Amino acid sequence: MIKSNAPRIVDAFYGVIEQNQELLEIVEKNSSIEKLKRTLADFISEMFAGKIDEQFVEKRRKIAEIHLKIGLEPKWYLLAFGQLQDSLLEVLSENLLLPEDFTRAAKAVAKFINFEQQLVLEAYSEQEKSSRRQSEAIKKRCGSKSNRQPLHSWILSGRPMRLSRK
Ligand code: HEM
């Protein structure tokens, strides 16, 4: 059911991206809408293939890292998952007429999206931690090599500025 509606879900997804100049520029700089429509369709069918193992999780992490590298802000990434969830629920509501069937499927979709978002947030927070560690290491190194006084203490001293070393 989801697979046969994948083109519609994917079109709705990229319809939203195309309306946002910032996102469109990211897409055009790194790939193309046509290519990404195919990768998103694969992504959706894997989501419903029913096989969640270590390889699946690793692939999802890699996808999150790819988005991190292209500079996609987490707010856009998470909003996009919201858009994807809306389309999936629309398809389910049209096809699952018994309320109990719809509720069960909708819960499964919500869990899935939540899980994907967790992987994305993890990847972004790992990146933030590692760049913080890096900048602290640089600060430490610079601080220990330099015995110069910081600029603000020179300003407060009221001494004239020495431009040459002589
Ligand atoms: C629900 C959210 C999203 C999902 C599930 C998703 C899914 C994917 C997948 C499966 C790929 C292919 C990764 C690979 O090469 O293995 C991809 C790549 C890409 N996505 Fe997304 N995406 C999402 C949100 C977005 C958004 C909001 C943008 C907006 C700019 C975006 C832009 C891109 C770009 C430019 C690439 C290509 C990166 C490259 O090849 O270097 N994605 N996405």
Q: Is the distance from the beta carbon of residue 43 to the nearest atom of ligand 1 less than 6 Å? A: yes
| Structure confidence at residue 19 (pLDDT) | 95
Residue 67: its H or E element:
helix 54-69
**Are the C-beta atoms of 18 and 33 separated by less than 8 Å?**
yes
pTM of the entire predicted model: 0.81
3-state class (DSSP) for residue 148: coil
Mutate to test the pocket of ligand 1, among 29, 66, 75 (most ligand atoms within 8 A of CB): 66
Paired tokens of 164: 């040459």
Please say whether the beta carbons of 17 and 37 come within 8 A: no
- Superfamily for domain range 6-131: Globins (1.10.490.10)
Question: What's the gap in Å between 67 CA and the centre of ligand 1?
Answer: 6
Residues 56 and 48: their CA atoms lie apart, in Å, by 12
Residues in the chain: 166
pLDDT per 10-residue tile (average), the chain, 166 residues: 92 96 97 97 89 91 94 93 96 95 96 93 88 84 61 50 48
The answer to whether 2 touches 91, Cβ cutoff 8 Å, is yes
- Predicted pLDDT at 158: 56
Domain boundaries defined on the chain: 6-131
> Does 22 contact ligand 1 (Cβ within 6 A)?
no
120: Cβ below 6 Å to ligand 1? no
> Would you state the pLDDT for residue 151?
47
DSSP 96: -
Q: Is residue 81 lining ligand 1, measured as CB closer than 6 Å?
A: yes
